[in-house]
Structure 1
């Protein structure tokens, strides 16, 4: 009897807990607001977890945290869920009109940011300047006054010089902007610029497959493309046109090349350029300082013969870095399809 009256020692080691006891800890932590979780258990499981819960006693905060971390880690494995544009759109379509769903998805696909001005701050300066150069200088002055000064400086540099100077003069003379005018400019940017930018991010099955093919080594890619051509030539040609390959980096503008050079490891760059065309090598070298280009050439010569597999891997890694930069709006990619601009 005395033993039963003694206070049960606090649980201080999550590793000593059984599965039902860990489930009990999680359910206790979530509380009554999440009681519906019990409905997913069968009668035997409810009984087992209930018994573990009743006998659990005190559990330290550290053990609760450890169990929660283990639970979340498990969710990222076989029990994970995957969010995507397609899944989000499908769920929204279940309770919203199609026009509202489309508008929301375009907003989501566009650059990150809570407000319109935050979003503009994540758009590459060359892309933004290309749009603004067709607007009135007064409108451009308002836009540039609302974004961060360093970004505004880069946009001005990307605009035609005479037009940029006119915008500067308007900014110098600018008085406080009325709320309705600012709202109208925001709405125009959202409807014309952001929606068009977001639409270029839409992916169909051919774009998805082009990304997969980009990740193949050369032999596997050639084998799959060849086999697909025999069964569906149209799809094979469309995939080939959508594929962004290493040599397509030659279509980057100088600013894009320099942004990519800052993001790529030097060893990876040297190995990738070993298998590049002479013109592509020279493009990268011409965007480096003379000293850096000389060192890179010497490093490449010092590598000696390299395996094609290693070159492929380095080139694919560089392409992926370029796509990541494009997704952030820092560079603009142009694929094999010709003049179509692709923002991944």
Structure 2
């Protein structure tokens, strides 16, 4: 029996050969990619992606009539779909994101063995700094170096800034030895770290106890701060020490801020409020901070503030404390937004020693 001939002028003859579903998929994907469409091929399994790549590589010439036939078949199948509910538990939970409580969503993910992030490093990048510190303190220097390398630059910098100086230097040096680490090893490490995070108990509060107490005391008056801290010193000295480490008050400005960042404060608080805070500080105690601020402002601005302070009447207690807290809040907002950063403990201690 003779082989059938193909006449490209005949649509039926041109599309008469039987092609597999895999070939049809490759034809459709190729046509869409050449049209500039973005196709989430990475949603397919690894095996399916590999098979698709092979079929694409085998495509050399597709008759126009065959291309039209395959595209029309594909379009017909797509338009006949009324609702696509494929995706299993993962897609269902993503669909319900924000519609059910966080606690319910997390419980369902754990029961179904579903991860919210396909890449463990995406999850690690949005993790709390304190959670990452706890992990790094339990890991080797080499693994810690990989963690720092995989995090976003801002997150990595914040994390290093929270570690003791010696530990941070060891990790930074170890980064130079990570260039031979394979992608497979990086993936395994990420999955292991993610398992550690997923096994942590759920927390009712986003902030640690010392951070919550510190934030509250920062917003109160100096008298109340001192009274509460004195009480904590008697009942729980270790907790009192941790509260002082995270707490930030007006009297801490000259210890915690870089001199070059002082000018940023004036852009976030009005001049009268700043002058009030400085005048009140000069009369009631935190004079070192007032001097630090004035010395590190532009000369003309410092002279104008000093002149305003000299002509101020006696400042009432409530007015003065409110002005101090306004300056502190402005600084905290700048730190939170990343405009400025607090000094590390070692720098602050060195500066304090030089001041004395």
Relative to the length of structure 2, the TM-score reads 0.42
Question: Which of the two has higher C-alpha Rg?
Answer: 2
**Structure 1 length as normaliser, TM-score?**
0.44
Larger RCO: Structure 1 or Structure 2 (Cα < 8 Å, ≥ 6 residues apart)? Answer: 1
